[in-house]
Amino acid sequence: MARSLLSLALALPAVRAMNNGLARTPQMGWNTWNHFGCGINEDTILSAAQAVVSNNLTALGYEYILVDDCWQADARDASTGAPVADPSKFPNGIKDLADKVHDMGLKFGIYSSAGTSTCGGRFGSLGFEEIDAQTYASWGVDYLKYDNCYNEGRAGTPLISYERYNNMSRALNATGRPILYSMCNWGEDGPWNFAVDIANSWRISGDIYDNYDRYDSRCPCTDMLDCKLSGFHCAMTRIIDFAAPLLQKAGPGKWNDLDMLEIGNGGMTFDEYVTHFSMWALAKSPLILGNDVTSMDTDTLSIITNDAIIAVNQDPNGSPASQMWIHAVDGGGQLELWSGSLVNNQFVWAVMNTSPSNQTVNVSLLDIFTDQGAAFGSGTFTMYDLWQKDADGAWGAKVADVSGSMSVDVVTHGVRVFKAVPVSSSRRAAGEL
């Protein structure tokens, strides 16, 4: 019965958030939560916005400055019920803050929860969707991250979650202002099945934890397709595992969100952060920085500014990569092959090594191009290493023309990412044909 009701709900005339013209490629920006938590104020946001501009991150696509939880006052406006900002943290109000962010050429986002309270204990938006959406629009908000805490038990089936989150979707679209809608219900009730018509992105798992692969009982699920308690403290590679079977659900205007990036927060090694950034890009997850962008070392900057990897994420084809095989490694861990298509008959593929030792693997082109067929995979391809710079200092150095198979070395907890172009196409682009 519930399935029939959900099908009916999805068939009803409704504003389809995926068609609101936003997030045609995965959204990019910066969010306060991972590094600052509730310790935010107006200066925190403005300093970060200025750092995004001064580090030229805007040229790479980082455009949203997102204020997460704890911006709210102790209570709503007593007479109107409208949301109010904490006057000690934001003495000039949210509209003034949004205006200043806009003046820097950036877009501004805010946070609430589809519950009576936010996860940080501030007032939520459940039952206040219309006035909150109208207020956000009047403030100049361009983006809403919408959480799942204190939801009064209004979850447990896709239909119940759909209706609760669709209330805000309708309210946002009714404002007439384009507001990117980022659902954050931790994968509860399978949002990849019901959110595609009402949101621009949806979280697929519990909250990320700045760690490569540590098991944590607070992130108890091993399979997000059969997960009733998604939790938090989810290590980075756990989220990749959760994402693998879901990626075909995404596309332009509608993305699986693997959560915010931890690069620069100190919990992983350089190679682990390279894996983090690469796999989020291949999965077509939003790329939302979660570090202190006002104080970044050269390693952090080198990762988040790799324009060849960002181009994979922002490719207009909008096709996430797929996990093609998994090979167990002696001593623990595994090697994983991922492959996906890009525009202009180009492709991206990666080998990820979760084992505790360096590995060498021979990768068959027939495995890389399984979806394109044996005839295509039997061809010759020019390979570009997207984490190697060419003679001009640009990411994406040419490696070789390859047919049959290619030997790949991958350091422990590292990844190798390649762009593959059929030789005839690469030579034509170079003017050799």
Q: How many Cβ atoms sit within 10 Å of the Cβ of residue 422?
A: 17
Cα separation of 151 and 282, whole Å?
32
H/E stretch holding 402: strand 395-403
Distances (CA, A) of 413 to 1, 205, 416: 46, 21, 11
Q: What is the strand order of the sheet 347-353 is part of? A: 322-328, 334-341, 347-353, 415-422, 380-389, 395-403
Q: Of these residues, 142, 147, 259, 292, which one is catalytic?
A: 147
CATH 2.60.40.1180 residue spans of the chain: 322-429
> What does the pLDDT read at residue 86?
98
**How much is the average pLDDT of 344-373?**
98
The answer on pLDDT for 140 being more than 60 is: yes
Q: Name 180's bridge partners.
A: 143
Percent share of the chain, pLDDT over 90 = 90
What is the model's pLDDT at position 430? 56
Q: Range with the lowest mean pLDDT among 17-26, 47-56, 201-210?
A: 17-26
Strand partners, 30: 65, 289
Q: Is 213 a catalytic residue?
A: no
Residues of the chain with CATH 3.20.20.70: 12-313
> Is residue 138 pLDDT above 50, yes or no?
yes
Does domain 12-313 correspond to CATH entry 3.20.20.70? yes
Instruction: Establish whether 147 is a catalytic residue.
Output: yes
Single out the catalytic residue among 189, 207, 315, 385: 207
How confident is the model over 143-192, as pLDDT tens digits?
A: 999 999 999 999 999 999 999 999 999 999 999 999 999 999 999 999 99
Residue 3, pLDDT > 90, answer no
| 3-state SS string for 36-98 | HCCCCCHHHHHHHHHHHHHCCHHHHCCCEEECCCCCECCCCCCCCCCCCECCCCCCCHHHHHH
Whether 16 has a pLDDT exceeding 70, the answer reads: no
SS3 state at 335: strand
**Homologous superfamily (CATH) for 322-429:** Golgi alpha-mannosidase II (2.60.40.1180)
Q: Say which residue the tokens 């060849």 belong to.
A: 308
Count CA atoms within 13 Å of residue 411 on its CB side.
8
Cα-based distances in Å from 65 to 109, 289, 293, 366, 382: 6, 10, 11, 42, 38
Give pLDDT, residue 6: 37
Instruction: Out of 95-109, 227-241, 296-310, 408-422, pick the least confident.
Output: 227-241
pLDDT at 286 over 80: yes
Task: Supply the pLDDT for residue 223.
Answer: 82
Percentage of residues of the chain with pLDDT beyond 70 = 94
